[in-house]
């Protein structure tokens, strides 16, 4: 079982809003001489700011990535764990089904949160953002494929649980089953028009699939 991090495992920005993190990244870019376009000045998604930084050169991209990683780690201190995920991870461990985290968030942030909540020993592998290059992030199946190799998993017998369309796209590209976690109003309808294999509204809904 492969779990996306922000959503299925926790709400990363519950205490430190994503909009505030994005604003700090924009401030960094402007301070380094970047002339941000109108749409980027209003961008509230930190990962989208990281994507844009890659168009500004390697140095700015790396600086943005490093600051984002630090802010993500800080955010995990006030992140809220997703109801039911602890039961799912513990049950998977009990029945011998390996679990990996597949996330566009940083490895450092994922490890910090899992460690703080006692879940790290039950996670076999973490395939998360370790490089500044946003092209390696989902919907690119790169991280999913890394997990499959590490777990020696058969794609057709593996599921990726995610709350975004990029998760579904990455799962499809890697040949694994996809589970859309509809944790907000409207997501059931959005998943319905994709090639998602299953849709759940609670993490506990995963238990019969394990």
126 and 100 in a single domain? The answer is yes
49 and 130 in a single domain? The answer is no
Residue ending a domain, among 47, 76, 105, is 76
Q: Is the dihedral of CA 47, 39, 139, 198 positive or negative?
A: positive
DSSP 8-state secondary structure symbol assigned to residue 161: E
Question: At 91, phi and psi to the nearest 5?
Answer: -65, -45
The boundaries of the domain holding residue 134 are 2-10+80-209
Residue ending a domain, among 54, 76, 98, is 76
Per-residue pLDDT reduced to its tens digit, 37-80: 999 999 999 999 999 999 999 999 999 999 999 999 999 999 99
Direct distance between the N- and C-terminal alpha carbons of the chain, in angstroms, rounded to an integer: 8
196 and 112 in a single domain? The answer is yes
Task: Give the CATH number for residue 111.
Answer: 3.40.50.1000
Per-residue pLDDT reduced to its tens digit, 72-124: 999 999 999 999 999 999 999 999 999 999 999 999 999 999 999 999 999 99
50 and 108 in a single domain? The answer is no
User: Taking the CB of residue 45, how many other CB atoms lie within 10 A of it?
Assistant: 12
113 and 187 in a single domain? The answer is yes
Residue ending a domain, among 46, 76, 106, is 76
Element (H, E) at 80: strand 80-81
193 and 104 in a single domain? The answer is yes
Q: Tokens 């799962």 belong to which residue?
A: 171
Over residues 152-175, the mean pLDDT reads 97
Q: How far is CA 108 from the centre of its chain?
A: 12
For the chain, how many structural domains are there in total? 2
């Amino acid at each position: 079982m492969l779990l996306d991090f922000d959503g299925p495992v926790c709400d990363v920005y519950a205490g430190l809003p994503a909009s505030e993190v994005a604003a700090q990244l924009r401030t960094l870019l402007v301070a380094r001489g970047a002339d941000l376009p109108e749409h980027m000045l209003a961008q509230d998604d930190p990962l989208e700011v990281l994507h844009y930084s890659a168009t500004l050169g390697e140095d700015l991209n790396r600086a943005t990535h490093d600051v984002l990683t630090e802010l993500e780690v800080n955010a995990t201190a006030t992140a809220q764990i997703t109801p039911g995920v602890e039961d799912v991870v513990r049950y998977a461990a009990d029945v011998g089904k390996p679990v990996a985290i597949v996330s566009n968030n940083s490895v450092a942030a994922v490890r910090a949160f899992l460690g703080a909540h006692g879940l790290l020993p039950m996670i076999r592998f973490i395939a998360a953002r370790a490089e500044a290059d946003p092209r390696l992030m989902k919907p690119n199946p790169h991280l999913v494929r890394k997990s499959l190799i590490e777990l020696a998993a058969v794609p057709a017998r593996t599921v990726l649980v995610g709350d975004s369309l990029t998760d579904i796209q990455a799962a499809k590209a890697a040949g694994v089953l996809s589970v859309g976690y509809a944790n907000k109003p409207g997501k059931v309808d959005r998943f319905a028009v994709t090639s998602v294999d299953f849709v759940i509204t609670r993490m506990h809904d995963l238990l019969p699939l394990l």
